[in-house]
Chain A
Amino acid sequence: MELLVASAIGVLTAGGIYLMLRLRTFPVILGISLLTYAVNVFLFASGRLAIGGPPILRDGVEFYSDPLPQALVLTAIVISFGMTAVVVMIALGAYLGADDDRVDDPAETERGDAT
């Protein structure tokens, strides 16, 4: 089971990084979203995996999953929505303003002797 989760984190990360390196805003945003999943699951998994032990206190139950990473990830999920929304808005504004959704600055605005 651990292998499944670890490899899922790996696949999400790899997909996220690949899409993040694309040249248009939309795939980059999706890539960041994938990375968000990866990071959230990663953080969540730092509480170790527990099946059948939600952290809802019950009489006579002694086995609970770690609640702290869950609380942290819960706010992270909500915040990541806010972040995605802002990034999408910025991307949209840039596209509507310039009719161009490339993430890289065009070459002629480069300065210095960068090649």
Chain B
Amino acid sequence: MSLFLIVALPFLGALLPGLMNSAGRQACAGLTFTVSLTAFIGLLTNLPSVLAGEVVTARVDWIPSLGLNFTLMLDGLGFFFAFLILGIGLLIIAYARSYLSRDDNMGEFFTYLLLFQGAMVGIVLSDNILLLLVFWELTSLSSFLLIGYWKHLPEGRQGARMALTVTGMGGLAMIGGMLILGQIAGSYDLSVILQNRELIQADPLYVPALLLILLGCFTKSAQFPFHFWLPHAMAAPTPVSAYLHSATMVKAGIFLMARMWPVLSGTPEWFVIVTTAGLITMFIGAVIALFKHDLKALLAFSTVSHLGLITMLLGTGTTFGAMAAVFHILNHATFKAALFMSAGIVDHEAHTRDIRRLGGLRHLMPITFVIATLAALSMAGIPLLNGFLSKEMMLEEATHTALFGAWWLVPALATLGSLFSAAYCFRLIGHTFLGPVRDDYPTKPHDPGAGMWLPPAILVMLVVVIGVAPFLVQDFVFLVAKSVIGGVGELEVKYIKIWHGLVPALFMSIAAVVGGLLLMAIFTPLLRMWDAAPRPEAKTIFEAIIAAVVALAERLIYGLHNGAFSRYGAIMAITVIGAGYYAWVTGTVGPTTREMQPMTPMAVAGWIMLVAATLGMVFLHRNRLMSLILIGIAGLMVSVGFVFFSAPDLAMTQITVEVVTIILLLLALNFLPNQTPVESTVMRRTRDAAIAVAGGLAAMGLAWHFLLREAVTTPISEFHLANSYKGGGGTNVVNVILVDFRGFDTYGEIIVLGIAALLIYALTETLLSGPVRARLLNRKPDQPRAGDMHPTMMVVLTRVIMPVVLMVGFYIFLRGHNEPGGGFIAGLVVSIAVVMQYMASGFGWASARLRYPYHGIIGAGVLIAGLTGIGSWFVAKPFLTSDFTYVRIPPFQEFELATAALFDLGVFLAVVGAVMLSLESFSRLARRAHVKDSEHPMDIDPSRDDTQPAVVKEGV
């Protein structure tokens, strides 16, 4: 099966359980199982190639310009991990089916689980480190969902947040490290990076890259000092713990260290950091685990400890260490998943996981007892079980490792770690299953159904088989180890043996087991000592750090961001001016290359009007109606300026937009106070004026500068002028750019415009359905109303003018391709015509005659424009490729038909819809309770013979 499919299957499958939720729990679990099984079988189909030593690859370029490609690779290591992820995943799914209660939303659970599974498989099969990072972050996110699955439990939420914070932070660091690594190697493809060991290790940026990547690995794999999140993640349902903390999530960091092993290992930095962290983690985890009373917490810390063990083995940088690490990953996955599931069974049946309340379960739950005992003994390192083999290898490796120049340090700590490890395993067995049967269990425990004990039983079978007959997996382990090692060295061992003779490792093993038994013998006084000893509580420290960071962020943010928007505006203006000033004084200024054009009296007159209107606005802005009139003048002068400087399309757009904007502002002013009170001090106004003058001078200086100089490089406008007619079939270059060359931009713009209008509509609806509604309905207008709000003259005039305006709009639309005009302008013109009807004849009258809702018009416009674009796909052209032809239908002259005109129609409709929807929304606010919407266009109509006046006159 293609690697793409293996990675994609869990993601695609993740859609199903949620959808199938109503079909029942069995269907949900069965479906999830089938999806995983398919991916698993797909993986197995690649086994022959992997065994033959080949590397299976699959590649699709995604964003080649960034070096981000969807490249997958399956070698021994990738296969090994994918096998664990999917294989144990299958067992977990079967187990979870029985474990989850009726109250749990099973579809949700399996969706998260499959998402997580897909992300994990993605990590181990990625050949591109950027892609790997994407999957890496996905595991952080999906594990957050899984850990916090029981949303009603505060521990679950806290644990999920902590896991996300720690692993997410590490993920960020790792992004930095990976980017550095990619820069050094010149490629983001793992296959390339793995070949460049010398280059990378010689680079001065090697150490920062190493530190950042290790930060990511250590946080994910819960290495000291980031080990604290893992036990808190135990608040998750047990299947999640079993999956995340035996074979997958926490192994991702280990996987990455193994993956990067050929490139990063072997240097003193790697050796010291990784070995030390691993050693400390192994020791601390084992010690803490011994004194935990919660079964899952005990297992969590034992996981921390074992991850430390694997990390240490990878840290030594020898080929034997790498091989031992691979073997222990396999062994740990089998016995730890079995143990977690057993703990879940105990919890499920006895309704407690507290070791102090358990004991004597071997009589009540014999099957669970056998499973858990075998797995725990394996973890303790008892011969003939698989844990013994890899633990022996670890001890063997420890005797050859000297840290900080002390030959005894690593062996001593390793032995002590194993000793505590053996002790907690014995405690787990002894205090849970052995001893007398108690009569105070929360519920009477008994063995569960096969659905729950079969998955761990399968794993324990593996534990025993590998332990007794290691030669069965030996070749596979060597194969995986070889793909970890890459071309760096040769694997010296040839066999995995149970009996090595009387080597130091054996004595260390014996010491650990005997010591563990002794610790158990004195456990009660030991526990008293432990409880009395002061210990730093990782969660408290973590929370203190978080609180400190939040406090710092608050100081920074609220210092700047105090809710005064005018202050933000000032700060932004000053910053922009400052940045511009800096660019100006540090940049080079070329000589002027353009002649200044002579001023004409007309232009000066226009300028004076514009400046006068602007200054008038500044000084008279407290009178709001006045400032609205003045801004109209400013807008008009801008339009005139556009005409003057050869931009007829802009002028037409500007003047029509001006009209609708002023109407809109007038509608708004209807509700707002008519005066702006004096509130700011003279100081403040002086300050604002200074900022404004500085900003104005800066803008003027910049414009003045470039107006007198030619562009630095040749503008691309020449292309548009040259190709407008040839390629686009239109002589109005601006319009051809809009609907053809940059049609995709325009498409985006009409969508934005449509969204803006819908937003206004939604806000209006919210206002009208909230408490504001009553106030609006009972509002008294603050100004006298005209007695005749809809005068006859105006009604008649707008009615007469309507067809003419529509015809003008149609004309402007049609000629747009070759003369000034087009969809935008025509849309605005038609909107104005419709708005005039509203204004003249009243809202009720106009609405009653509205056949199509404005939303629909917006939608139709966007749809027509989009479909026009899609149409070009049918002739195998890219989106929005336009075409045109000339036809002649007698008696007309020859005329042009262009697909761009269809696109422009979409623009036209979207503009009409958006403008009308906005204005209509505003005017709906203006309707009041005691003023009925009149169905008549005119308030006073001599031809109407009604005894009652149509409108109740309201006073001031």
Contact = CB atoms under 8 A, between A and B. Distances in A.
Interface of A: 1-30, 33-34, 37-38, 40-42, 44-58, 64-68, 70-71, 73-75, 77-86, 88-93, 95-97, 101, 103-106, 109-114
B653 A77 contact: yes
24 contacts: A6-B703, A7-B611, A7-B700, A12-B610, A13-B695, A17-B569, A17-B573, A30-B628, A56-B820, A57-B733, A64-B733, A67-B733, A75-B745, A75-B749, A77-B653, A77-B654, A84-B661, A88-B664, A93-B766, A97-B770, A105-B562, A109-B563, A110-B562, A112-B559
A71 to B, nearest CB: 4
B614 A24 contact: no
Interface hub of B717, B914, B922 (most chain A Cβ within 10 A) = B717
B824 interface: yes
From B554, B627, B641, B771, residue with most partner A Cβ within 10 Å: B641
Given A75-B749, A112-B555, A4 B603 contact: yes
A21 B600 CA distance: 35
A26 B555 contact: no
Interface in B676-720: 676-677, 679-680, 688-689, 691-693, 695-704, 706-708, 710-711, 715-717, 720
Contacts of A34: 614, 617, 631, 634
Nearest to A86: B756
Interface stretch (B57-65, B419-427, B724-732, B874-882): B724-732
Contacts of A95: 671-672
Contacts of B672: 25-26, 91-92, 95, 101
A112 to B, nearest CB: 3
Contact of A89 (B635, B717, B760): B760
A50 B289 CA distance: 81
Interface in B799-846: 818-820, 824, 828
B646 interface: yes
A91 to B, nearest CB: 7
Contacts of A9: 699-700, 703
B569 A21 contact: yes
Contact of A14 (B607, B692, B756): B692
Contacts of B660: 81
B648 interface: yes
Contact of A58 (B664, B731, B737, B772): B731
B645 A65 contact: yes
Contacts of A27: 621, 624, 627, 676
Contacts of A64: 646, 721, 733
A82 B555 contact: no
Contacts of B699: 9-10, 13-14, 38, 42
A20 B569 contact: yes
A78 to B, nearest CB: 6
Interface string B637-677: 01001101111111001100100110011001101110011
Contacts of A37: 634-635, 638
B635 A55 contact: no
A67 B727 CA distance: 16
Interface of B: 554-555, 557-559, 562-567, 569-570, 573, 594, 596-600, 603-604, 607, 610-611, 614-615, 617-618, 621, 624, 627-628, 631, 634-635, 638, 641-642, 644-650, 653-654, 657, 660-661, 664-665, 668-669, 671-673, 676-677, 679-680, 688-689, 691-693, 695-704, 706-708, 710-711, 715-717, 720-721, 724-725, 731-734, 737-738, 742, 745-746, 749, 752-753, 756-757, 759-760, 763-764, 766-767, 770-772, 775-776, 818-820, 824, 828, 911, 914-915, 918, 921-922, 925
Most buried by A among B679, B692, B711: B692
A-B pairs, 9 with minimum CB distance:
A112-B558, A14-B696, A10-B700, A105-B563, A82-B756, A18-B692, A6-B704, A67-B733, A71-B737
A45 B911 CA distance: 26
B676 to A, nearest CB: 5
A81 to B, nearest CB: 5
A4 B599 CA distance: 8
A53 B704 CA distance: 21
A19 to B, nearest CB: 6
Contact of B565 (A33, A51, A103): A103
Contacts of B680: 22-23
Nearest to B559: A114
Contacts of A24: 676-677, 679
A78 B731 contact: no
Contacts of B692: 13-18, 21
Given A7-B700, A15-B618, A57-B725, A71 B742 contact: yes
Contacts of A110: 558, 562-563
A78 B749 contact: yes
Contacts of A97: 767, 770-772
Contact of A104 (B557, B567, B597, B669): B567
A114 B562 contact: yes
Contact of A15 (B573, B614, B661, B704): B614
A103 B568 CA distance: 11
B621 A74 contact: no
Contacts of A12: 610, 614, 634, 696
Given A30-B621, A42-B699, 5 more contacts: A12-B610, A34-B631, A57-B725, A73-B647, A114-B558
B645 A78 contact: no
B564 to A, nearest CB: 4
A84 to B, nearest CB: 6
Contact of A44 (B557, B642, B665, B721): B642
Contact of A54 (B597, B646, B665): B646
Nearest to A109: B563
Given A75-B746, A93-B767, A44 B756 contact: no
A82 B724 CA distance: 29
Contacts of A22: 566, 621, 676, 680, 688
B616 to A, nearest CB: 9
A5 B653 contact: no
Nearest to A81: B657
A42 B641 CA distance: 12
Contacts of A8: 607, 610-611, 641
B647 A54 contact: yes
Contact of B707 (A13, A45, A77, A84): A45
